[in-house]
Chains A and B, each alone.
Chain A
Amino acid sequence: MDGGKTRKAKIEVRNLTKRFGDLLVLDQISFDVGEGEFLSIVGPTGCGKTTFLNTLSKLIPSTAGDIFIDGEVADPKKHHLSFVFQEPTCLPWRTVRENVAYGMEVKRVPKAEMEKKLNQIMSLVGLADCADLYPNQISASMLQRIAVARAFAVNPDLLLMDEPYGQLDVKLRYYLEDELVRLWEQLKSTVIFVTHNIEEAVYVSERILILSNKPAKVKAEVKVDLPRPRSLIDPRLVEIRKEVTELIRWW
């Protein structure tokens, strides 16, 4: 896999393997992610996407292989990793603003810098109006925006997203996808976006990795070389969507 041809590889995944007892879930996955690249990963349901992300983020140890950030073995205490989970992970006892600040607090970002970053991010994601509200006072889509804002706020070396918009309705999802792309363009983070929604993957990313059925391997790679802003009815985008769909074919 040659994601890093045009730019330097920020993330290198090498022979990542995960076994639960006899069950092989991830089978020697290797790929690179370029600095500031937006990479999507799609695969059949149940192919081990969540295990893949949990292993990548170091939440669970890998059986073999590893992930390197700037040539070093990834370590959540040293590198800036962010993870946006499927379910909104807001702390109910913190206001919206305090929730967005959480990642930076853990990383002990100096107060002044944190305030500056918060102001920037909050207005970028349109949360400035409800900064002082508590999570149970705002809608579900807002909750996920908090998680996304918190993830971008720490200037992550790697931002992992696990179907963050899977539970939202279509209209809202389009809106948030645009917002995500805008954030990524402005903040230039390196993103790995996992989804089962092929259209979403083609719409947001620069490159797509397709995983095979369990045990998961990288089956194919598709470049999405389309200008932005993109349109879902652009014939080129539809073409790529069909190509990816053909490659997955789990039905």
Chain B
Amino acid sequence: MAYEQVKVKTPLILRLLPVLSVLAFFGAWQMVVDREIVPSTMLASPIQIFQLFLVKWTEVNPDGALLSQHIWTSVQEAFAGYLLALLVGIPLGLAMGWFVVVEGLGRPIFEMIRPIPPVAWIPLVIFWFGIGISGKIFIIWIGGIVPCVINSYEGVRMTNPTLVQMARTYGATDWQIFKQICIPSALPMVFGALQIALALCWTNLVAAELLAADRGLGFLITMGRKLALPDMVLLGMIMIGLTGVVIGIIINYFEKKLLAGIRR
């Protein structure tokens, strides 16, 4: 083929920069704890956390579950809430962007619910769902749905009007235009929503797990606080961070595959 893609290699020094910054960060942290600049009751060193990390794979105490079980519980809750947020939020946002009836019906209610922080739902959620997993999923869901709706809505709104006119002159129906023009146009924004919603769901996880949980990374943090174990608190925080990064990478991978035509 006459048209070939050129691969540009990133210079070594640029690829080393992130490694350097991470090493420097952990090095400084370790030093601050070793020299007791901050007392060990307030901050654990990276090495202590790593040791606890290794121990927690096989040791159930003192919080009652293995690290893998905490991660798995959290991932389940977060993903259930996240997927529900996507399943409801994206179609709703897309439809609100194109169909005036849906916008008229959906928008006022959505705008009313939107400013309520997800944690404010906790008391009601306990009345409704008790303290089981469904309540936590609800909290995560209601936080995650907001960016899904907004981004999908804006994505459709930003569709190039000439493309819509073009489709109209060919006699396309409203539904065809929505499906063939608006949705593909909105996809980059929708994928933005996937990332934002994931971040929000993951953030709301700790809040959701404050609901009398007995497992989960948020629960691990809560237990660390109750037992005054800063290394456990930090382990929970870092695991939330790392798991979030891994999920982010997975989503990025699918985004690139799906948007090959637009982002090339």
* Residue total for A at the interface (Cβ-Cβ under 8 A): 34
Which residue, of A58, A106, A137, has the highest number of chain B Cβ atoms within 10 A? A106
Judged by DSSP, the binding face of B is helix
Q: Which of B170, B180, B184 contacts A154 (CB 8 A)?
A: B170
Q: Which of B165, B166, B176, B262 contacts A93 (CB 8 A)?
A: B262
Spot the interface stretch: A1-9, A28-36, A79-87, A195-203. A79-87
Task: Using known A-B contacts A91-B184, A107-B170, determine if residue A137 contacts B165 with beta carbons closer than 8 Å.
Answer: no
Q: Which of B166, B173, B259, B262 contacts A83 (CB 8 A)?
A: B166
**Within the assembled complex, what's the spacing in Å between the Cα atoms of A130 and B3?**
9
Task: Using known A-B contacts A93-B187, A129-B2, A134-B264, determine if residue A81 contacts B165 with beta carbons closer than 8 Å.
Answer: no
CB distance from A137 to the nearest CB of B (A): 6
**Within the assembled complex, what's the spacing in Å between the Cα atoms of A81 and B167?**
11
Task: Using known A-B contacts A87-B162, A106-B176, determine if residue A82 contacts B168 with beta carbons closer than 8 Å.
Answer: no
CB distance from A179 to the nearest CB of B (A): 20
Structural contact, B162 and A85, CB atoms closer than 8 A: yes
Structural contact, A106 and B2, CB atoms closer than 8 A: no
Specify which chain A residues have a CB less than 8 angstroms from the CB of B261 in the assembled complex. 92-95, 134
Q: Cβ of A231 < 8 Å from any Cβ of B?
A: no
Q: Cβ of A167 < 8 Å from any Cβ of B?
A: no
Task: Using known A-B contacts A106-B176, A130-B3, determine if residue A91 contacts B171 with beta carbons closer than 8 Å.
Answer: no
Structural contact, B170 and A78, CB atoms closer than 8 A: no
CB distance from A224 to the nearest CB of B (A): 27
Show 13 A/B contacts (Cβ-Cβ < 8 Å), sorted by A.
A57-B169, A59-B169, A76-B171, A77-B171, A79-B171, A80-B171, A83-B169, A87-B162, A91-B163, A92-B261, A95-B261, A134-B261, A147-B166
User: 11 extra interchain contacts, Cβ-Cβ under 8 A, other than A92-B261, A103-B170, A106-B172?
Assistant: A76-B171, A79-B171, A87-B162, A89-B162, A91-B163, A91-B180, A93-B184, A106-B171, A130-B3, A134-B260, A136-B262
Q: Which residues of B contact A (CB under 8 A)?
A: 2-3, 160, 162-163, 165-173, 176, 180-181, 184, 187, 259-262, 264
